[in-house]
């Protein structure tokens, strides 16, 4: 009996919470037409759907999207995303829910270049503008694509690595995921640059750390054990770089092995300060966030987007130049 | 007289299981030695260098510690899929406390307690609401990960960037420091924990009750064992050890990632199962789990040293897990046949 009562109570609790949320939605959707009738500004709802929500990178996108929304005054940004980058199905579901929730625009970083094509097409059919950021899809179904050219950025990392190790020697790669387009592009950019322009550098291996710094540290340690003459290790995102730097400093080899990273976080900054990370390619997520909102609002108001594909670029920040004001501003965007 | 018969039965059961356990451990241990020798030869001695062996021990530490708690839970016939999420939760709570200025000792204590509380929740959902462990902890896997993200506001909590550099280096020592210039400190913690958990499991009444519940819960209940209390304690311990693993991970990097520990529950379960713990309950040991974790660690490190492709490695490791469980099933059916 007691148990039964408990079940009923918990069901009631869940229902009331759900009702509470639903109530809020009703209120806002009712308020909208009224506001429109009064001639006041309509509030535009934009969904920001990222590959996951829990990284400094996506939080920067969100922060700048929200800042832009605040500037514009009549825009509301909701940040959504699956628990991990590998949860492709969940991201598809999120986009589908956004369509049925009648968002005014979707800013999307695709977990998978093929799986997200259909949802984007569906959104377009429903008249919702879609601006892709960071990771695109295999068909040009979207309105605009703001991204770092990751092949280019990977090549930049290779150039910096070559500079650091004097143009010859063994290097290894700790990539953050296998089969994710961003990761594939970065790796391709790095390896192609090395093969083409730095014939005396040999890439001794590639490992994938699933954005887990502890795994990255273990893999870097194994690279060092297997290749005692190794001169550089590249970590292809922030977690990978932080893990690699940790392994190299644990081994006391910071003066022998150069660590180059990718992306930016407070841990990366600490690494640059202590010289454990010699350099990192900093993307411009701030641009993706603010420009994304701007483009959606342009599209909503019927303006045409001129450049469909925009490279937001990277800045190579090194342990030597990070204090320069212009570079520091990018590091703290 | 009643007492007499019960104790005789116990002796018999214990004798049987310990004999098979010895064989199982011997087998897992044999595999471990074989793998080590194989990699030693293939890597031209690099694998067997003291430095590398110590590296492997450091690498397996979080999985092994996670595996200890999971061994307790698995022995009761349960499981804890939320252990990986609790790794993240314990780590981030500890790091958050550090950034709030609670001091090293207190922060670690709060982190472990937070893990114990998650275990308590798991235990209560399983025993009081009668939800099967698989589903209950599948639910809390999401819930605890969500809490972790909430605490970290979706970002890593960095201890590294704190101004108190002495605190940072103390914290880092716990996760990656060395004693006598060689022995990784977390490995020492792991070994101490292994001894404590091993003694609890093998030598205390609580430990024996865990086996009894796992072998036959109804019989255990009828013979007067407080099943509720025993199970609850197993889950609390599992939560606490998961949090400890998480604190070590956070300490090594001086930064708690909100996605730390994702998928680690499966590593822990794999370590336990390879070491002879039965997923059906009633069997298992801490020494076995240490060996199981070592097999996984040696495989990963060894395959890296002999430069096996990252994707081929996944296939090999998956194969080894299946072989381990297959052997376990084979042994059980033989036992039942006898």
Output the average pLDDT for chain B: 87
Chain B residues with CB-CB distance to A226 below 8 A:
43, 46, 304-307
Number of other CB atoms surrounding residue B170 within 10 Å:
13
**Chain segment B245-291, per-residue pLDDT in tens:** 999 999 988 889 888 898 899 999 999 988 888 888 888 899 999 99
pLDDT at A216 over 90: yes
Burial (Cβ within 10 Å: 0-12, 13-18, ≥19) of residue A17: exposed
Which residues in chain A are classed under CATH 3.40.50.2300? 42-148+285-302, 150-283+316-331
CB pairs < 8 Å spanning A and B: 108
- B43 vs A: CB within 8 A: yes
Nearest to A222 among B142, B255, B301 (CB): B301
Once rounded to an integer, what is the mean pLDDT over residues B80-89?
A: 95
Chain B residues with CB-CB distance to A270 below 8 A:
158, 160-161, 254
Indicate the domain borders of chain B: 22-330
Element (H, E) at A80: strand A75-80
Chain B residues with CB-CB distance to A277 below 8 A:
none
Predicted local distance difference test score (pLDDT) of residue B21:
60
| Residue B253 distance to chain A (closest CA, Å) | 7
pLDDT at A25 over 60: no
Nearest to B257 among A3, A218, A239 (CB): A239
Q: Do B59 and A221 touch (CB under 8 A)?
A: yes
Chain B residues with CB-CB distance to A208 below 8 A:
310
Nearest to B310 among A206, A239, A242 (CB): A206
How many angstroms separate the first and last alpha carbons of chain B? 28
Q: Do B176 and A242 touch (CB under 8 A)?
A: no
Strand intervals (E) in chain B? 157-158, 178-179, 183-184, 255-256
DSSP A304: P
**Chain segment B195-221, per-residue pLDDT in tens:** 999 999 999 999 999 999 999 999 999
Nearest to B253 among A52, A53, A242 (CB): A242
| Residue B5 distance to chain A (closest CA, Å) | 38
Of A251, A244, A228, residue with least CA distance to A170 = A228
Q: Which residues contact A83 (CB under 8 A, 6 or more apart)?
A: A52, A90, B142, B145
**Chain segment A55-77, per-residue pLDDT in tens:** 778 988 999 999 999 999 899 99
Residue of A nearest to B301 (CA): A222
Residue length of chain A: 333
Query: Which of these CATH numbers, 3.40.50.11440, 3.40.50.12140, 3.40.50.2300, 3.40.50.300, describes A150-283+316-331?
Result: 3.40.50.2300
Number of other CB atoms surrounding residue A319 within 10 Å:
17
Least confident of A104-113, A171-180, B33-42, B176-185: B176-185
pLDDT at A16 over 80: no
In chain B, residues 254-273 whose CB comes closer than 8 Å to chain A: 254-255, 257-260, 262-263
Q: State the Cα–Cα distance between residues A96 and B156, nearest whole angstrom.
A: 29
Least confident of A282-291, A299-308, B101-110, B197-206: A299-308
Nearest to A270 among B158, B249, B301 (CB): B158
Output the average pLDDT for chain A: 86
Q: Give B29's Cβ-side CA count (13 Å radius).
A: 8
Continuous H helices in chain B: 2-42, 50-75, 83-99, 104-127, 133-152, 165-176, 185-203, 205-215, 217-222, 227-253, 264-274, 286-305, 310-337
- What is the topology classification, in CATH, of domain B22-330? ABC transporter involved in vitamin B12 uptake, BtuC (1.10.3470)
**Chain segment B131-170, per-residue pLDDT in tens:** 999 999 999 999 999 999 899 887 788 888 788 888 988 9
Predicted local distance difference test score (pLDDT) of residue B134:
93
Q: Do B145 and A83 touch (CB under 8 A)?
A: yes
The CATH number assigned to the domain with range A42-148+285-302 reads 3.40.50.2300
Chain B residues with CB-CB distance to A178 below 8 A:
310-311
Q: Do A210 and B262 touch (CB under 8 A)?
A: yes
**Chain segment A259-289, per-residue pLDDT in tens:** 999 998 888 998 999 999 999 999 888 899 9
Question: What three-state secondary structure class fits A139?
Answer: coil
Q: Which residues contact A326 (CB under 8 A, 6 or more apart)?
A: none
Predicted local distance difference test score (pLDDT) of residue A54:
78
Q: Give B7's Cβ-side CA count (13 Å radius).
A: 4
Nearest to B305 among A59, A222, A242 (CB): A222
Q: Which residues contact B301 (CB under 8 A, 6 or more apart)?
A: A218, A222, A225, B39, B47, B52, B55, B56, B59
Q: Do B307 and A204 touch (CB under 8 A)?
A: yes
Nearest to B310 among A59, A83, A178 (CB): A178
Q: Do A213 and B257 touch (CB under 8 A)?
A: yes
Angle among Cα A224, B171, B114 to the nearest 5 degrees reads: 115
Band of residue A2 on the pLDDT scale cut at 50, 70, 90: low
Predicted local distance difference test score (pLDDT) of residue B14:
47
Claim: this prediction has a pTM higher than 0.90: no
């Amino acid at each position: 009996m007691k148990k039964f009562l408990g079940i009923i109570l918990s069901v009631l609790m869940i229902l009331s919470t759900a009702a509470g949320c639903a109530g809020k939605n009703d209120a806002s959707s009712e308020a909208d037409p009224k506001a429109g009738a009064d001639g006041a500004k309509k509030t535009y709802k934009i969904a920001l759907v990222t590959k996951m929500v829990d990284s400094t990178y996506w939080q920067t996108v969100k922060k700048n999207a929200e800042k832009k929304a605040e500037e514009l005054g009549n825009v509301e940004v909701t940040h959504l995303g699956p628990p991990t980058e590998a949860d492709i199905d969940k991201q598809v579901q999120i986009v589908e829910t956004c369509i049925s929730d009648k968002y005014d625009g979707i800013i999307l970083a695709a977990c998978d270049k093929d799986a997200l094509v259909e949802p984007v097409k569906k959104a377009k059919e429903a008249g919702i503008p879609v601006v892709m950021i960071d990771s695109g899809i295999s068909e040009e179904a979207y309105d605009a694509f703001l991204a770092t050219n990751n092949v280019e950025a990977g090549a930049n990392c290779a150039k910096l690595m070559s500079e650091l190790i004097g143009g010859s020697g063994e290097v290894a790669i700790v990539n953050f995921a296998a089969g994710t387009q961003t990761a594939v592009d970065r790796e391709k950019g790095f390896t192609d640059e090395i093969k083409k322009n730095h014939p005396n550098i040999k890439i001794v291996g590639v490992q994938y750390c699933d954005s887990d710094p502890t795994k990255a540290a273990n893999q870097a340690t194994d690279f060092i054990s297997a290749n005692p003459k190794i001169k550089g290790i590249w970590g292809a995102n922030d977690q990978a770089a932080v893990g690699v730097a940790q392994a190299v400093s644990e081994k006391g080899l910071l003066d022998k092995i150069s660590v180059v990273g990718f992306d930016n976080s407070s841990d990366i900054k600490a690494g640059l300060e202590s010289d454990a990370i010699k350099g990192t390619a900093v993307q411009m997520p701030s641009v993706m966030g603010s420009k994304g909102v701007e483009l959606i609002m342009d599209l909503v108001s019927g303006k045409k987007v001129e450049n469909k594909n925009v490279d937001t670029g990277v800045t190579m920040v090194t342990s030597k130049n990070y204090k320069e004001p212009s570079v520091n501003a990018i590091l703290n965007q | 007289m009643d007492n007499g018969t019960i104790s005789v039965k116990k002796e018999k059961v214990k004798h049987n299981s310990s004999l098979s356990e010895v064989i199982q451990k011997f087998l897992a241990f044999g595999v471990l030695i074989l793998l080590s020798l194989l990699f030693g030869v293939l890597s031209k001695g690099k694998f067997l260098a003291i430095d590398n062996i110590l590296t492997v021990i450091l690498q397996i530490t979080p999985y092994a510690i996670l595996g200890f708690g999971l061994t307790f839970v698995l022995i009761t016939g349960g499981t804890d899929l939320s252990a990986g999420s609790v790794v993240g939760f314990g780590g981030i709570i500890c790091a958050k406390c550090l950034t709030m200025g609670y001091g090293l000792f207190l922060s670690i204590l709060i982190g472990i307690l937070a893990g114990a509380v998650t275990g308590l929740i798991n235990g209560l959902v399983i025993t009081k609401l009668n939800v099967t462990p698989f589903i209950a902890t599948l639910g809390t896997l999401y819930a605890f990960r969500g809490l972790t993200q909430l605490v970290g506001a979706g970002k890593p909590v960095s201890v590294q960037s704190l101004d108190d550099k002495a605190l940072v280096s103390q914290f880092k020592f716990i996760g990656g420091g060395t004693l006598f210039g060689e022995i990784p400190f977390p490995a020492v913690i792991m070994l101490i924990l292994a001894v404590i958990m091993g003694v609890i499991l093998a030598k205390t009444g609580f430990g024996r009750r865990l086996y009894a519940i796992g072998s036959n819960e109804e019989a255990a209940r009828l013979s007067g064992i407080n099943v509720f209390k025993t199970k609850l304690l197993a889950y609390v311990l599992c939560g606490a050890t998961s949090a400890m693993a998480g604190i070590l991970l956070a300490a090594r990097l001086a930064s708690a990632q909100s996605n730390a520990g994702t998928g680690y529950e499966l590593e822990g379960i794999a370590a336990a199962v390879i070491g002879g713990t039965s997923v059906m309950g009633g069997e298992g040991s801490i020494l076995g789990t240490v060996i199981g974790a070592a097999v996984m660690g040696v495989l990963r490190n060894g395959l890296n040293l002999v430069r096996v492709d990252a994707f081929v490695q996944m296939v090999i490791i998956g194969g080894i897990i299946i072989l381990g469980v297959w052997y376990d099933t084979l042994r059980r059916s033989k036992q039942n046949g006898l």
